[in-house]
C-alpha cells in the first residue's frame, strides 16, 4: 500500500462558467478514480458535478484541497482521446472547461442527484372507454394515479414515484389489472431494423469506386488522414459515406456521421439504419432526455458502433473510432455562435487526429476553409463530378427583377412573370416545386413614406418584420410584437406602408394565384418543433404537397425525384449583409437549392430572381463554377486579410448602458494593441451591425493574425487584464459577424 501522506490529486472540470480547472483529492476509499470519471465535488457552499480530466502533480499553494464526494458512474464517461479533444476545444474557443466537457455529456448527467434508469420509462393509461366506472372501485391511491394519467396522457415513472413511497406499489397493481402500461420511448420511435425495407446497395459508379479506393487505403493504414469529398449535388456522396462506414465496421472500428440538424430527416436515418440496423445510434434535438441518454449509453457500451447526429454529436462516445464523416461540411450550422463557440467540422478534424481516424468532409460547395486546407496539402481532395445516371444538373436561369417589375404603379409580385409561368407549367405536369426565400414573415419592413425610416425594434436595432396572420410587427431577434403603428415613430407622418417580401407573403401570393395547388411553408415560424418540420417534409416527399415555400430549411439534403422546379425569389438578400462570407454563403445557398431540382428522371429548372444579375456569386452559380469562384473568393480574402488566409477573433462587449459597452470595447482594443502590435492587427471597436439586441448595446472589434497561437495567447491575457462590468464574448473563427 502507498503511504497515506501522499494524497491522490486530480484536476476536475466543474460544471460552472469559470475559466479554470480545480484540484481535488480522491476520496480515501476510491483511489481508482482517474481521468474521464464523472464525480460530485464540494463547490462553494454546495455541490456540483464535474469530470476528472487529469492527474494533478501538486496542489496549488495556499489552497485547501477538498475531497471529491463520490464517483457518479462506475465507468469513465470520456475516453482519453475525447478528453484530449475537449481540452483542445476549451482552449481554442477560450471557453470554461466545465461547460465544454458537459456539452459532451447527455443532459441527464449535468445535475446532481441519482440517475434512475426508470427515467426512460413512461407510464401510459391503456384504455379510456368504460374505465370511469372502474376507477371508482379502485383504492384511492390507484384511482388518483389513473385519473392523473388520463389527464396528462403519459408521465415519466420517476416523476410519479418521487417522494411517494406508496405510488410504486399502486402503479404495479394498476399494471397487473391492465389499466396502465409502460412505454419505452426509444423502442417506439426509432425505426426497427426489421421493419425497414432492406435495400440492396447500388453498385458504385467508377467515380464512387475511385473515391472509395482512396478511403479504403486510408482505413487500412489505420492512421489519421483527412479528405475533402467534393461531389456535385446528386452525385452519390451519401452512398460513398455508407460504404466507407461499412468497411470501417468490418475492420472492427466505429464510425461517426455528422449532418446539419435540418438534414437529419427520417429519410436519412432510414437510409443509414437500413444498412447498419441496430448498430446505429441517432442523436438529435428532438430526443427526450432519456432517449438521448439511451443512445449515448449504447455507444459508450459498444452496442452501437455508428453515431449519426448534428453538431454536438462530434463528441459522441463512439468506441475505437475509425471514420468521421462530415456531410455538407460548408454548412454554417456546424459553428455554434453564442455559448461555447466551437465548430464541429474543425473539431472533427482534431478528433480524427486524436483517434487516428479517417476524416471525410463532403460537400457540393466546399468551404473556403476546406479548400484552403487542400491547397496547403493538409487534406486530399476526391471528386464526384457527375450526377448519378448522368442526370443533368438543372439549368439555372437568372431573371433581372429590374426589368421584370418595371411598372411602379402595379403592385409588385413576389413571383415575376417568368417564374409564375414556370410554376404554372410545373403544376400542370403534376410535378413539384420548391420556392426559396431567405426571409421569414410577410413583408420585410414597415416604411414611412414621408421620411423613409423603417419601423425598428426598441430593444434591438433591426427592422421589424410584418406577420400577416397576426397582423403584427415582430422582432426576429428578441420576439417583441406590436401592431403596425398609425403614425411614424420618427416623423409622426401618417403614411406607413409595407415593403419587401417574406416567406409568409410569398405563400399568400402563391395561394391566391394558384388556388388548386397544395402548398406548405417551412420556416422557423411554422416549425417551432422538429415534428412539424419532419411531417411537412414527409408530406412533400410523399407527393401530398405541390409547392414547398421556405427559408434555408428547404435548401438542404432533400432527395425528392418529382421536384423539377426551384425558384429563388430574391437572391440578393444575403449579399447585403455586412459579413465577409456574404458572397460565399449566397453562392453556396444558390448551388445547394438548385441541386434539389431534377434529381429524378425529368430534368430540372432553376429560376433565380435578383436585382443584381451580374454579381459574381450569382453568375458563378449559374455557370456552376464552384472551384474558380471559390479560388477568386479565397484570393480576395487574402488581399483583405480575412480567413482562411488569416485567423480572426471577434470580441463583442455588451451592456444595457451604451457608454459602458463602448468603453469596454475600447479597453479591449487598446489592450490588444499594446500587447503585440507586430503580430496582431486590430479593427475597431465600432458598434456592431446590430447595435442593440435584447436590450443590450453591442460594440465589437476584430483582431487578425497569421498565427492562431499568438491570437489565443493574446486573447487570454487581454481577458485577464480588462476589468469591466460589460459582458465580453470572445469568438475565434467567428461566423456571426452581426
Q: What residues make contact with ligand ADP under the rule CB under 6 A?
A: 202-205, 208, 231, 233-239, 388, 559
C-alpha count within 13 angstroms, C-beta hemisphere, residue 418: 19
Please name the residue that has the C-alpha cell 446505429. 280
Using the CB atoms, write b or e for 14-28: b if 16+ within 10 Å.
bbbeeeebbbbbbee
From the CB of 490, what's the least distance to Zn ion, in Å?
17
Which of ligand ADP, Zn ion, none binds 536 (CB below 5-8 Å, type-dependent)? none
- Output 29 or 390, the one with its CB closest to ligand ADP: 390
Part of the chain binding Zn ion (CB under 5 A), chosen from 199-207, 326-334, 449-457, 631-639 = 449-457
Backbone angles phi, psi at 616, to 5 degrees: -55, -35
* One-letter-per-residue 3-state SS of 166-213: HHHHHHHHHHHCCCEEEEEHHHHHCCCHHHCCCCCCCCCCHHHHHHHH
Helix or strand or coil: residue 84?
helix
Q: Which three cell numbers stand for residue 218?
A: 486510408
Q: Which three cell numbers stand for residue 381?
A: 481532395
Please name the residue that has the C-alpha cell 465496421. 249
From the CB of 697, what's the least distance to Zn ion, in Å?
13
CB atoms within 10 A of CB 58: 7
CB atoms within 10 A of CB 63: 9
- Output 11 or 552, the one with its CB closest to ligand ADP: 552
Among 294, 292, 321, smallest CA distance to 306 is for: 321
Which of Zn ion, ligand ADP, none binds 477 (CB below 5-8 Å, type-dependent)? Zn ion
Which of ligand ADP, Zn ion, none binds 237 (CB below 5-8 Å, type-dependent)? ligand ADP
Which of Zn ion, ligand ADP, none binds 475 (CB below 5-8 Å, type-dependent)? Zn ion
Which of ligand ADP, Zn ion, none binds 204 (CB below 5-8 Å, type-dependent)? ligand ADP
Helix or strand or coil: residue 437?
coil
From the CB of 202, what's the least distance to ligand ADP, in Å?
3
Contact 583, 632 (CB under 8 A): no
- The site string for Zn ion over 226-255 (x = CB under 5 A, - otherwise) reads ------------------------------
Instruction: Compute and round to an integer the Cα radius of gyration of the chain.
Output: 28
- The site string for Zn ion over 475-514 (x = CB under 5 A, - otherwise) reads x-xx-x----------------------------------
From the CB of 209, what's the least distance to ligand ADP, in Å?
9
- Binding Zn ion (rule: CB under 5 A), the pick from 104, 435, 457, 702 is 457
- Output 246 or 616, the one with its CB closest to ligand ADP: 246
From the CB of 265, what's the least distance to ligand ADP, in Å?
12
Which H or E run includes 13?
strand 9-14
From the CB of 476, what's the least distance to Zn ion, in Å?
8
Q: Which three cell numbers stand for residue 457?
A: 425594434
From the CB of 480, what's the least distance to ligand ADP, in Å?
40
From the CB of 726, what's the least distance to ligand ADP, in Å?
45
Q: Does 460 bind Zn ion (CB under 5 A)?
A: yes
- Output 35 or 246, the one with its CB closest to ligand ADP: 246
CB atoms within 10 A of CB 252: 9
Close Cβ partners of 192 (under 8 Å, ≥ 6 residues apart)? none
Q: Does 383 bind Zn ion (CB under 5 A)?
A: no
C-alpha count within 13 angstroms, C-beta hemisphere, residue 501: 26
Adjacent-strand bridge partners of 307: 256, 281
- Output 270 or 683, the one with its CB closest to ligand ADP: 270
- Output 179 or 360, the one with its CB closest to ligand ADP: 360
Q: Which three cell numbers stand for residue 572?
A: 440578393
Adjacent-strand bridge partners of 687: 699
Question: For residue 631, is it left (φ>0), alpha (ψ between -120 and 50) or beta?
Answer: alpha
Which of Zn ion, ligand ADP, none binds 459 (CB below 5-8 Å, type-dependent)? Zn ion
From the CB of 478, what's the least distance to Zn ion, in Å?
3
Which of ligand ADP, Zn ion, none binds 205 (CB below 5-8 Å, type-dependent)? ligand ADP
- Output 209 or 631, the one with its CB closest to ligand ADP: 209
From the CB of 553, what's the least distance to ligand ADP, in Å?
17
From the CB of 233, what's the least distance to ligand ADP, in Å?
5
- Output 506 or 597, the one with its CB closest to ligand ADP: 597
220 class by beta-carbon count within 10 Å (0-12 exposed, 13-18 middle, 19+ buried): exposed
Q: Does 735 bind Zn ion (CB under 5 A)?
A: no
Adjacent-strand bridge partners of 24: 10
- Output 347 or 475, the one with its CB closest to Zn ion: 475
Close Cβ partners of 603 (under 8 Å, ≥ 6 residues apart)? 391, 392, 394, 395, 564
- Output 199 or 285, the one with its CB closest to ligand ADP: 199
- Output 196 or 690, the one with its CB closest to Zn ion: 690
Residue ranges that bind Zn ion, judged by CB under 5 A? 457, 459-460, 475, 477-478, 480
Amino acid at each position: 500500500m502507498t503511504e497515506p501522506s501522499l494524497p491522490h490529486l486530480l484536476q476536475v472540470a466543474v460544471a460552472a462558467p469559470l475559466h479554470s480547472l480545480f484540484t481535488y483529492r480522491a476520496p480515501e476509499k476510491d483511489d481508482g478514480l482517474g481521468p474521464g470519471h464523472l464525480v460530485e465535488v464540494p463547490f462553494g457552499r454546495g455541490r456540483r458535478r464535474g469530470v476528472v480530466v487529469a492527474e494533478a502533480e501538486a496542489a496549488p499553494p495556499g489552497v485547501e484541497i477538498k475531497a471529491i464526494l463520490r464517483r457518479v458512474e462506475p465507468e469513465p464517461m470520456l475516453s482519453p482521446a475525447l478528453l484530449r479533444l475537449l481540452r483542445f476545444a476549451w482552449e481554442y474557443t477560450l471557453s470554461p472547461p466545465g461547460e465544454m466537457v458537459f456539452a459532451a455529456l447527455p443532459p441527464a448527467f449535468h445535475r446532481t442527484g441519482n440517475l434512475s434508469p426508470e427515467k426512460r420509462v413512461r407510464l401510459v393509461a391503456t384504455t379510456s372507454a368504460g374505465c370511469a366506472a372502474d376507477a371508482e372501485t379502485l383504492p384511492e391511491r390507484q384511482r388518483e394515479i389513473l385519473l392523473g394519467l388520463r389527464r396528462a396522457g403519459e408521465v415519466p415513472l420517476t416523476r410519479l414515484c418521487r417522494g411517494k413511497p406508496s405510488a410504486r406499489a399502486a402503479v404495479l397493481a394498476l399494471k397487473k389489472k391492465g389499466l396502465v402500461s409502460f412505454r419505452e420511448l426509444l423502442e417506439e420511435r426509432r425505426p426497427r431494423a426489421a421493419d425497414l425495407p432492406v435495400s440492396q446497395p447500388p453498385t458504385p459508379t467508377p467515380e464512387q469506386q475511385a473515391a472509395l479506393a482512396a478511403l479504403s487505403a486510408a482505413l487500412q493504414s489505420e492512421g489519421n488522414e483527412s479528405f475533402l469529398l467534393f461531389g456535385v449535388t446528386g452525385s452519390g456522396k451519401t452512398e460513398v459515406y455508407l460504404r466507407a462506414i461499412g468497411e470501417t465496421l468490418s475492420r472492427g472500428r466505429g464510425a461517426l456521421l455528422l449532418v446539419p440538424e435540418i438534414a437529419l430527416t427520417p429519410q436519412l436515418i432510414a437510409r443509414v439504419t437500413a444498412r447498419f440496423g441496430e448498430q446505429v445510434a441517432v442523436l438529435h434535438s428532438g430526443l427526450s432526455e432519456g432517449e438521448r441518454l439511451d443512445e449515448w449509453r449504447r455507444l459508450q457500451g459498444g452496442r452501437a458502433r455508428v453515431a449519426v447526429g448534428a453538431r454536438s454529436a462530434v463528441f459522441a462516445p463512439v468506441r475505437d473510432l475509425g471514420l468521421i464523416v462530415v456531410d455538407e461540411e460548408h454548412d454554417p450550422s456546424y459553428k455554434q455562435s453564442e455559448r461555447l463557440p466551437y465548430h464541429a467540422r474543425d473539431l472533427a478534424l482534431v478528433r480524427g487526429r486524436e483517434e487516428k481516424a479517417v476524416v471525410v468532409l463532403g460537400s457540393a460547395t466546399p468551404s473556403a476553409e476546406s479548400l484552403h486546407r487542400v491547397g496547403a496539402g493538409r487534406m486530399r481532395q476526391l471528386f464526384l463530378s457527375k450526377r448519378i445516371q448522368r442526370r443533368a444538373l438543372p439549368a439555372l436561369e437568372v431573371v433581372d427583377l429590374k426589368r421584370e417589375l418595371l411598372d411602379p404603379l402595379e403592385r409588385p409580385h413576389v413571383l415575376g412573370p417568368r417564374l409564375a409561368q414556370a410554376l404554372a407549367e410545373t403544376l400542370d405536369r403534376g410535378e413539384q416545386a420548391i420556392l426559396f426565400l431567405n426571409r421569414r414573415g410577410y413583408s420585410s419592413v414597415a416604411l414611412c413614406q414621408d421620411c423613409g425610416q423603417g419601423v425598428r425594434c426598441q430593444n434591438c436595432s433591426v427592422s421589424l418584420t410584418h406577420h400577416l396572420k397576426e397582423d403584427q410587427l415582430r422582432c426576429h431577434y428578441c420576439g417583441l410584437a406590436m401592431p403596425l403603428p398609425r403614425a411614424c415613430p420618427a416623423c409622426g407622418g401618417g403614411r406607413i406602408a409595407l415593403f419587401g417580401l417574406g416567406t409568409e407573403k410569398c405563400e399568400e401570393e402563391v395561394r391566391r394565384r394558384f388556388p388548386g395547388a397544395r402548398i406548405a411553408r417551412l420556416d422557423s415560424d411554422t416549425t417551432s418543433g422538429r415534428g412539424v418540420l419532419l411531417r411537412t417534409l414527409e408530406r412533400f416527399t410523399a407527393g401530398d404537397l405541390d409547392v414547398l415555400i421556405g427559408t434555408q430549411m428547404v435548401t438542404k439534403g432533400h432527395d425528392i425525384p418529382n421536384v423539377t422546379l426551384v425558384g429563388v425569389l430574391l437572391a440578393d438578400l444575403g449579399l447585403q449583409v455586412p459579413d465577409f462570407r456574404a458572397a460565399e454563403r449566397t453562392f453556396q445557398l444558390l448551388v445547394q437549392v438548385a441541386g434539389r431540382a431534377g434529381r429524378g428522371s425529368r430534368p430540372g429548372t432553376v429560376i433565380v430572381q435578383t436585382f443584381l444579375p451580374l454579381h459574381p456569386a450569382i453568375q458563378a452559380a449559374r455557370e456552376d463554377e464552384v472551384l474558380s469562384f471559390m479560388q477568386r473568393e479565397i484570393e480576395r480574402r487574402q488581399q483583405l486579410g480575412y480567413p482562411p488566409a488569416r485567423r480572426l477573433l471577434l470580441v463583442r462587449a455588451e451592456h444595457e448602458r451604451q457608454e459602458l459597452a463602448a468603453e469596454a470595447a475600447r479597453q479591449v482594443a487598446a489592450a490588444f494593441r499594446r500587447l503585440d502590435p507586430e503580430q496582431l492587427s486590430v479593427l475597431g471597436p465600432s458598434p456592431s451591425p446590430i447595435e442593440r439586441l435584447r436590450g443590450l448595446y453591442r460594440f465589437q472589434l476584430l483582431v487578425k493574425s497569421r498565427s492562431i497561437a499568438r491570437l489565443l495567447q493574446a486573447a487570454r491575457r487581454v481577458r485577464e487584464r480588462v476589468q469591466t462590468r460589460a459582458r465580453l464574448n470572445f469568438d475565434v473563427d467567428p461566423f456571426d459577424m452581426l
